[in-house]
């Protein structure tokens, strides 16, 4: 979970992350104690909502070593209390696969957009933060902003994530 912490620390110095536990085989959650963390940006009052669900599972071999597997997530960018967009993965619900919610400003489409599940591949938290930085002006904080240090950190943590990734987040094919 430290890579997630490292990514978050590039963009906010007010992330109070809490994890529910590390007992193997039990669904756990890593979340922000204040639910959101403020992000630095020219857009005022931009906030990150973050909830990452995981399980600690033993490796086949050696049996006394463990890894963390993702069991769900919500990463959302919000303006004050209003969400702009959110990447979701919450299997077991009506929508099994990873997906995107866009919160459209057009009033007549707002409800349709709010409920639509735009399918995506599984989104790494790093990809989410690069999107926030590149499209919404979220800025890395000191000292990570210098010479784009944060990009190097994110590239490294994302590579580690992809090297160990065991599933894509694609919707299960209909039977």
Partner 1 sequence: MAVQVAGEIQDLRTDEGPEIFDAAARRHAKISGDEFLRRWDDGVFNDTEDEGILRVVMLLPLVRRQSSSAAVIPPRQRSRDKFYEGAAILLARASNRAALLYAKLQHARKDPR
Site residues (CB under 8 A) for partner 1? 1-2, 5, 8-9, 13-21, 25-31, 33, 35, 49, 51, 53, 55, 71-72, 74, 83, 86, 88-94, 101, 114-115
Name the minimum Å distance from CB 26 to partner 1.
Answer: 5
Closer residue to partner 1 (CB): 17 or 131? 17
Q: 59: helix, coil or strand?
A: coil
Burial group, residue 144, by CB count within 10 angstroms (0-12, 13-18, 19+): buried
Are 31 and 50 spatial neighbours (Cβ–Cβ below 8 Å)? yes
Which stretch of DSSP H or E encloses residue 159? helix 149-164
Name the minimum Å distance from CB 84 to partner 1.
Answer: 12
Closer residue to partner 1 (CB): 101 or 130? 101
Closer residue to partner 1 (CB): 98 or 124? 98
Name the minimum Å distance from CB 130 to partner 1.
Answer: 20
Closer residue to partner 1 (CB): 28 or 41? 28
**Which residues are CB-contacts of 172 (< 8 A; sequence separation ≥ 6)?**
96, 97
> What is the distance in angstroms between the CA of the first residue and the CA of the last residue of the chain?
34
Name the minimum Å distance from CB 159 to partner 1.
Answer: 21
Q: Measured in whole angstroms, how far is the alpha carbon of residue 2 from the centre of its chain?
A: 13
């Amino acid at each position: 979970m430290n890579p997630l912490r490292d990514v978050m620390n590039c963009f906010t110095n007010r992330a109070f992350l809490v994890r529910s536990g590390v007992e193997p085989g039990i669904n756990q959650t890593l979340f922000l104690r204040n639910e959101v963390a403020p992000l630095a940006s020219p857009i005022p009052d931009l906030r990150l909502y973050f909830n990452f669900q995981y399980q600690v599972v033993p490796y086949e071999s050696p049996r006394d070593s463990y890894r963390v597997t993702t069991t769900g997530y919500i990463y959302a960018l919000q303006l004050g209390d209003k969400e702009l967009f959110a990447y979701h993965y919450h299997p077991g619900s009506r929508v099994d696969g990873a997906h995107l919610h866009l919160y459209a400003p057009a009033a007549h489409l707002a409800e349709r957009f709010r409920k639509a599940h735009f399918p995506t591949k599984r989104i790494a938290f790093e990809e989410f933060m690069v999107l926030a930085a590149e499209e919404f002006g979220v800025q890395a904080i000191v000292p990570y902003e210098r010479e784009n240090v944060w990009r190097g950190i994110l590239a490294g943590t994302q590579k580690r994530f992809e090297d160990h990734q065991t599933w894509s987040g694609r919707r299960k094919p209909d039977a």
